[in-house]
């Protein structure tokens, strides 16, 4: 899972717009950041760290050009080393730089094919390098000395045929134009915006709100969009869409002020809170107060209190200078960061029955640490309500949540999980209620693999074992 952006304009540098756009997408990736621009020469800066750590006034000033792409990275395989940072670039044919959001399932097979058959050496464990080289390999077979939009779309069709998994992509081409495409399943989001002579692509609409762009809607599943240097937009449906957007975007990952595939994230989380309120009523609990686990749990907690009449309290204060714990590279870092990230308000919680509202439980370790932390404030009871359903299966499409054997719900009942995390009562959202709440009356076929175990692409036990081995063997790259 990453945050990507691409901007093309006329007559002025776009680097500062790219930088600000990436700040709006920082929640999607905290491991590395990079920007490439083009003014007849490719300018590239990327490195390990947050956006504000990688870029400064000096290196931004040299990233000149009216077109550029950027990414905030969250690694799902590899060490997250500098070699894995995006954008990636190949100079033949024509010159192509690329960023992506997602995960390629057949990465290993593609890497072997590209190296042995097509003599393309891949130097990283970043799957966008495989997508880029497949795209370049498809494009190199075009005989003309200059490519056309038709050539680009044909090459994207070749990517769709050869690359399996989830990927939303923005590419900057050697003629100064921009190309964006989204895989036929549309698992990862990609939206398009416009302001005056500028066109942009981004992972979430919040980027357009911040930059003052008009939201032109989503790039469709299986669609490619080319924007020429004079601003002409050409769109083509390359592959028959089989749209399965990731439901976890609405449950946890996306910002609440974004709209993904026509569904507002904030509104979806409020509906999740409303349906969770019914489950809490059925459980027979009567809390003195409802405390959201900030920040993701706040919209659902607010809706839950409105539905029940219970009191909402900001009983947990978040340290906003601590990164998102879910996407930290190791479980040790996630657990230690809970106490750095949250502080309970003793005057609010002492002697009271507290209902904590959270998004999901993965391994249970973070929930356990959080409940321990809250109990230090002296509540009489700690209930734990989760507006996502039980997580049971690993994501192979770009979210590094857990391997098969790590999910606490895999081998434990709700009652056992309740005891393991130390809650006086645990209330889970049901799977059907979760799906219905996010859809909000729309007819949607979500990817719910992490909840249901049903993958929209062929996934074998061998695939899951390989992914588990990669994630278990990878050691986080040290930061300086």
Q: State both tokens at 341.
A: 């990230």
Please give the angle made by the CA atoms of 156, 160 and 163, to the nearest 5 degrees.
115
In whole angstroms, what is the distance from residue 164 CA to residue 396 CA? 11
Instruction: State the SS3 of the chain.
Output: CCEEEEEECCCCCCHHHHHHHHHHCHHHCCCEEEEEEECCCEEEEEEECCHHHHCCHHHHHCCCCCEEEEEEECCCCCCCCHHHCCCEEECCCCCEEEEEEEEECCHHHHHHHHHHCCCCCCCCCCHHHHHHHHHHHHHHCCCCCCCCHHHHHHHHHHHHHHCCEEEEEEEEECCCCEEEEECCCCCCCCEEEEECCEEEEECCCHHHHHHCCEEEEECCCCEEEEECCCCCEEEEECCCCCCCCECHHHHHHCCCCCEECCEEHHHHHHHHHHHHHHHHHHHCCCCCEEEECCCCCHHHHHHHHHHHCCCECCCEEECCCCCCCCCCCCHHHHHHHHHHHEEECHHHHCCCEEEEEECCCCCCHHHHHHHHHHHCCCCCEEEEEECCCCCCCCCCCCCCCCCCCCCCCCCCCHHHHHHHHCCCEEEECCHHHHHHHHHCCCCCCCECHHHHCCCCCCCCHHHHHHHHHHHHHCCCCCCC
For residues 101 and 3, give the distance between their C-alpha atoms in angstroms, rounded to a whole number. Answer: 6
Partner residues linked to 227 by β-bridges: 178, 233
Choose the catalytic residue: 2, 395, 447, 450: 2
Is 447 a residue of the active site? no
Report yes or no: 48 and 33 within 8 Å, Cβ to Cβ. no
* Lateral strand order in the sheet of 178-182: 88-90, 96-104, 165-173, 178-182, 223-227, 233-237
Task: Find all residues with CB under 8 Å of 215, minimum gap 6, and list them.
Answer: 191, 192, 193, 205, 208, 259
Active site residues: 2
């Amino acid at each position: 899972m990453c945050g990507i952006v691409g901007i093309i304009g006329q007559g002025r540098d776009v680097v500062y717009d790219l930088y600000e756009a990436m700040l709006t997408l920082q929640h999607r990736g905290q491991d590395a950041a990079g920007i490439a621009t083009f003014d007849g020469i490719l300018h590239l800066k990327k490195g390990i760290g947050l956006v504000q750590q990688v870029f400064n006034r000096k290196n931004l000033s040299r990233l000149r050009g009216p077109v550029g792409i950027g990414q905030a990275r969250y690694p799902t395989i590899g060490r997250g080393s500098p070699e894995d940072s995006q954008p990636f670039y190949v100079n033949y044919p024509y010159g192509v730089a690329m960023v992506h959001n997602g995960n390629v399932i057949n990465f290993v097979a593609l890497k072997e094919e590209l190296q042995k058959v097509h003599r393309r050496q891949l130097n990283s464990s970043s799957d966008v390098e495989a997508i880029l080289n497949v795209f370049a390999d498809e494009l190199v077979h075009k005989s003309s000395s200059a490519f056309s939009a038709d050539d680009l779309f044909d090459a994207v069709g070749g990517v769709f045929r050869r690359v399996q998994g989830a990927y939303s992509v923005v590419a900057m081409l050697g003629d100064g134009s921009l190309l964006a495409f989204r895989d036929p399943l549309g698992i990862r989001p990609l939206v398009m915006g416009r302001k005056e002579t500028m066109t942009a692509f981004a992972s979430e609409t919040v980027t357009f709100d911040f930059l003052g762009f008009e939201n032109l809607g989503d790039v469709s599943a299986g669609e490619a969009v080319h924007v020429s240097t004079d601003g002409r937009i050409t769109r083509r449906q390359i592959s028959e869409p089989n749209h399965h957007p990731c439901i976890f975007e609405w449950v946890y990952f996306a910002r609440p002020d974004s709209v993904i595939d026509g569904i507002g994230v904030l509104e979806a989380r409020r509906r999740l809170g409303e349906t969770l309120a019914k489950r809490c009523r059925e459980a027979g609990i009567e809390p003195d107060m409802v405390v959201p686990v900030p920040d993701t749990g706040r919209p659902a907690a607010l809706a839950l209190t409105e539905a029940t009449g219970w009191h909402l309290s900001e009983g947990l204060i978040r340290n906003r200078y601590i990164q998102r714990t879910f996407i930290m590279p190791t479980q040790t870092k996630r657990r230690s960061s809970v106490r750095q990230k949250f502080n309970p308000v003793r005057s609010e919680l002492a002697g009271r029955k507290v209902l904590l509202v959270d998004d999901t439980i993965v391994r249970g370790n973070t929930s356990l640490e959080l409940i321990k932390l809250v109990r230090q404030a002296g509540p009489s009871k700690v209930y734990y309500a989760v507006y996502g359903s039980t997580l049971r299966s690993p994501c192979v499409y770009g979210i590094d949540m857990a391997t098969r054997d790590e999910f606490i719900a895999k081998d434990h009942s709700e009652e056992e999980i309740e005891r393991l995390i130390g809650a006086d009562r645990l209330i889970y959202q049901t799977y059907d209620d979760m799906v219905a709440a996010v859809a909000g009356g729309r007819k949607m076929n979500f990817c719910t693999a992490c909840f249901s175990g049903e993958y929209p692409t062929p996934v074998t036990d061998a695939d899951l074992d390989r992914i588990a081995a990669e994630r278990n063997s990878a050691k986080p790259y040290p930061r300086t």
